[in-house]
Amino acid sequence: MDLVVEGRAYVRGKLGHWAIGIEDGRIVEIARSIRGAERMNLGDLIILPGAIDPHVHLRDPGLTDKEDFATGTLAAACGGVTTVLDMPNTLPPAVTAEKLAEKKEAIARKAWVDYGLFAGCMPGADIEAMAPMAVGFKVFMGSSTGRLLVTEDKDLARIAAQVNRTGKVLSVHAEDENLIQHDVESTPPDHLRNRPAAAEVSAIRRLSSLPGQINVCHVSSAEGLQALKDLPFTKEVTAHHMLLDRDSEGKAYAKVNPPLRTKEDRLALFQAFISGEIDMLASDHAPHTIEDKEMEFDAAPSGMPGVETAVPMMLALMKRGTVPVEVLVSAMAEKPASVFGLEKGRLEVGRDADLMVIDPRAASPIKVNNLHSKCGWTPFEGREAIFPHMVFVRGQLVVEDGDPVGERVGRDVVVAKRSRS
Ligand code: DOR
Ligand code: ZN
Ligand code: ZN
């Protein structure tokens, strides 16, 4: 055994004192105590599975003035995220097997945490050819950053059928392009008027008859939640849609798709989250530079960073008793692992030893200067958060007290899975 980590660990649905034995990056034993190996005794610090963020935009290749795979995955690690699933709207977009292979090469050896790549679906895409490299597929039904867009039902139907044949997940940005207006906007409420909740509901309805495992990204409205009630889809929510709304400060920094909506929407999402109705917590980390965001509102790009702050803010809410630990662990780790078929997300023998260690007493306000994204800003300045004391990726310590330690060990989860089986 390479290492034994002992503390108050979340095992089989509850916190208790456990020793976790790690060998070759995997959990090989969980017992009250384990002898005969290098031990790290964490006392009453809490050990949770590392989080899996099913939705980030790390901008590599092509948009690396905003973020790159090194800075984005370091930000992830410092926020307790040990696996990121990266979206295809990079430059060039990852929409063919060739472009996916190029992207893999461009980011190789840069990552601090494990990662998977989404393949972008355009009409006519060769889904089968992309499948061996992709952790999942992505469709944008409404236009956002980049040019990926599928507006016709016949294209959606073909894509969903082909993705279904690969056995992978289809993650969808569900805003119906037909219901998005492009009137000149100068405030977050204007942006919301252009992208009403009806666009989300319509997109969800159009998906409702499609086959396969569909994941609705960043559900953002009470109506959207309602429309999803009887559908077999999984769903994500973001921290920003639960904690910010159209009346939050922030000019173009608060411009994001889907938009920040009303206080009622925000509270409905948060309520659904804490009652365990939401499958996954996603950051939709979408860094843009300060320069981008200082442009006129109408011209500024949509999106906000969040991969380093989403889990820590939820951990602070967990400590306050607002978010139950089992709900948070399910949404940030267990469910994303099962949806995307990863041997991660639980402190369980046989799974990857991806862990975060937290000191529940160590809540502190978020300060942008302590964050690691290249974009250099956060919409959550001053919010209470608990940043992990330590983060392990497959048994390797990568972050300690907000700073990187050791080597960059991140690897592609799809490649790793193939070599496992
Ligand atoms: O606000 C957004 N930003 N929404 C998206 O769908 C894309 C993202 C980005 O890549 O900037
Ligand atoms: Zn999206
Ligand atoms: Zn996104």
The pLDDT of residue 160: 98
Look at residue 420 and tell me whether its pLDDT is greater than 80: no
Give the CATH number, domain containing residue 169: 3.20.20.140
Average pLDDT, the chain: 97
Look at residue 311 and tell me whether its pLDDT is greater than 80: yes
User: 333 and 356 share a domain?
Assistant: no
User: 268 and 155 share a domain?
Assistant: yes
Q: Determine whether the shortest distance from the Cβ of 238 to ligand 1 is under 6 A.
A: no
72 band by pLDDT with thresholds 50, 70 and 90: very high
The pLDDT of residue 36: 79
Q: Which ligand is nearest to the CA of 259?
A: 1
Domain finish residue from 323, 339, 355: 339
Cα gap 314→316, rounded to integer Å: 5
* For residues 181-196, average pLDDT: 97
User: 153 and 279 share a domain?
Assistant: yes
Chain mean position to CA 410: 16
Give the CATH number, domain containing residue 363: 2.30.40.10
Look at residue 365 and tell me whether its pLDDT is greater than 70: yes
Active site amino acids: 284
Residue nearest to atom 2 of ligand 1 (CA): 303
User: 97 and 155 share a domain?
Assistant: yes
Q: What percentage of the chain reaches a pLDDT higher than 70? A: 100
* For residues 101-120, average pLDDT: 98
User: 113 and 253 share a domain?
Assistant: yes
User: 128 and 204 share a domain?
Assistant: yes
The pLDDT of residue 421: 62
* For residues 324-334, average pLDDT: 98
Q: Which atom of ligand 1 is nearest to the CA of 256?
A: 1
141 band by pLDDT with thresholds 50, 70 and 90: very high
Domain finish residue from 282, 308, 339: 339
- The structural domain count of the chain equals 2
* For residues 82-102, average pLDDT: 98
User: 37 and 181 share a domain?
Assistant: no
Write out the DSSP string of 108-131. TT--SSEEEEEEE--TT--HHHHG
User: 281 and 148 share a domain?
Assistant: yes
Cα gap 57→61, rounded to integer Å: 11
CA 277 to ligand 2 center in whole angstroms: 20
Q: Which atom of ligand 1 is nearest to the CA of 301?
A: 11
Cα gap 267→221, rounded to integer Å: 10
Residue 187 CB-density burial (10 A; 0-12 exposed, 13-18 middle, 19+ buried): middle
Q: Determine whether the shortest distance from the Cβ of 201 to ligand 1 is under 6 A.
A: no
Look at residue 419 and tell me whether its pLDDT is greater than 90: no
User: 407 and 272 share a domain?
Assistant: no
* For residues 175-198, average pLDDT: 97
Residue nearest to atom 7 of ligand 1 (CA): 145
User: 42 and 61 share a domain?
Assistant: no
Q: Determine whether the shortest distance from the Cβ of 283 to ligand 1 is under 6 A.
A: no
Q: Which domain holds residue 273?
A: 50-339
Cα gap 355→391, rounded to integer Å: 6
Domain finish residue from 339, 367, 390: 339
Query: How far from 26 is each of 4, 5, 22, 116, 357, CA to CA, in Å?
Result: 11, 12, 5, 19, 17
User: 138 and 220 share a domain?
Assistant: yes
The string of pLDDT tens digits covering residues 232-279 is 999 999 999 999 999 998 899 999 999 999 999 999 999 999 999 999
360 band by pLDDT with thresholds 50, 70 and 90: very high
Q: Determine whether the shortest distance from the Cβ of 89 to ligand 1 is under 6 A.
A: yes
Q: Determine whether the shortest distance from the Cβ of 107 to ligand 1 is under 6 A.
A: no
The string of pLDDT tens digits covering residues 33-56 is 999 789 999 999 999 999 999 999
CA 181 to ligand 3 center in whole angstroms: 20
User: 21 and 170 share a domain?
Assistant: no
